Structure 1
């Protein structure tokens, strides 16, 4: 339903800032992290033993909190049709799980540290590794639900014209890189190399951020959630 712009503006601002914070890992282009972006997990940038880990944990925490608050605000004012509600709840899950991700960092970087990988396999790493795996999975599950459901809502309910046009392409690309990332993780855990795991996962999170930006812009143009 159409809303007063003052009610929609917080959603736009929070989602746009959340999308920006969620791309903070691109700072590795100009900062010396010592990690290969093609081969390493994005999460390894925020590992407890990494020199810039605190920076990347802070940006993850900020991104998750911003998206969570934006999605909760949207749920309060959304039109209650099924695809919209499911999509906003997906973003609530994404935001909350991303906050948890930041609070449950890896203790070391398994793709570049054989000792870390061996300890992880033997179960000799802190419980945060398991917690991080769970929260990361939930974050991406929430993102996928949101990307699909809100894109469907845009097309089915005749709203958010920009998202309705661009969203389907982003959905296809997001699903493709998610399959790539999952296959690469399976290969790494089986000892068969990384399969450019880092590139796939970075593409995955970048597409989520782009989609969030498109959603924020679409909501701002049509003044409704």
Structure 2
């Protein structure tokens, strides 16, 4: 049984780490000419179908979602499931992974923050249904991620598991919640014509912290394996 759990821990750790790498593929905008302002635009605008590198970012989002989903399903089936906070956290991770994968299949057709014409077509309802589907799937993904971060961090502290998560997780969660609030306020400002209030910076911080937390959990799982 212990050997099975060790193998499961190693697998979950690897899946989380690889998922985090794929989920941060947007950082390639530092070295690639995307033409989009990272301080203002949505991360998902990088993957819009009219963007030159859209296919790359849609593919990495799909891979990230599937890896996070696989990590969560493995955890729920192979011994990482535990008391309710732990189970809730892995379910949240599964929702996050599945919604991220779905999100990549419903890309924006254009970049509404960067392109005023695209924004005008959105307001007039002249864009494909994928814009609405993308908004829904993105919201579900972030909601699942927040559940995972909060619940698994609580589990780490309450049940004496994953020492690095118990130590650093609360700080990451606090900043993640602030970044999420920043993003929501900026989105609301855009909706009423007062944005974008550095929407891109807030959202990039939001998704980066999710990846950092996933790496922290991966490290905790790997560390437990080494200790065992």
**For this structure pair, what is the TM-score category when the shorter chain's length is used for normalisation?**
over 0.9
Q: Deviations over 1:119-153 (max 9, x none)?
A: 10111110000000000000000000000000000
In the TM superposition, residue 5 of structure 1 has moved relative to its aligned partner by 1.7
Deviations 1:85-137 (A, max 9, x none): 00000000000000011000000000011111011011111000000000000
Q: 2: distance between equivalents of 1:208 and 1:79?
A: 21
DSSP-derived class of the 1:50 partner: coil
Give 1:80 deviation, angstroms.
2.5
Query: Which of 95, 105, 110 matches 2:112?
Result: 110
CA drift of 1:219 comes to 1.1
Name the residue aligned to 1:7: 8
Instruction: Select which of 192, 198, 202 maps to 1:190.
Output: 192
Structure 2 counterpart of 1:78, from 77, 80, 83: 80
Q: Which blocks of at least 5 consecutive residues in structure 2 are unaligned? A: none
Paired with 2:64 and 2:38, the residues of 1 have a C-alpha distance of 20
- CA deviation vs aligned residue, 1:150-189 (integer Å, no higher than 9, x gap): 0000000011000000000001000000000000000011
The aligned residue for residue 152 of structure 1 is 154
Q: Give the ranges of 4+ consecutive aligned residues of structure 1 lying more than 2 Å apart after TM superposition.
A: 1-4
The root-mean-square deviation of aligned C-alpha atoms, in Å, is 1.3
How many residues are paired up? 224
Task: String of CA shifts for 1:62-103, please: whole Å, max 9, x gaps.
Answer: 000000001100011224210000000000000000001100
Structure 1: give runs of 5+ residues left out of the alignment: none
Secondary structure of the residue aligned to 1:108 is coil
Greater RCO structure (CA 8 Å; 6+ sep): 1
Q: Which residue of 1 aligns with 2:18?
A: 17
Q: Greater CA deviation, 215-224 or 155-164?
A: 215-224
The 5 Å alignment of 1:54-93 reads: 54-76=55-77, 77-93=79-95
Give the equivalent residue in structure 1 for 2:28.
Answer: 27
* Cα-to-partner distance string for 1:22-56 (whole Å, 9 max, x where unaligned): 01000000000000000000000000000000000
C-alpha separation in 2, matches of 1:135 and 1:46: 14
Q: Indicate conservation of the 8 Å contact 2:189/2:196, yes or no.
A: yes
Alpha-carbon distance, 1:209 to partner: 0.2
Normalised by the length of structure 1, the TM-score is 0.97
Residue pair 2:187, 2:195 contacting (<8 A) in 1 also: no
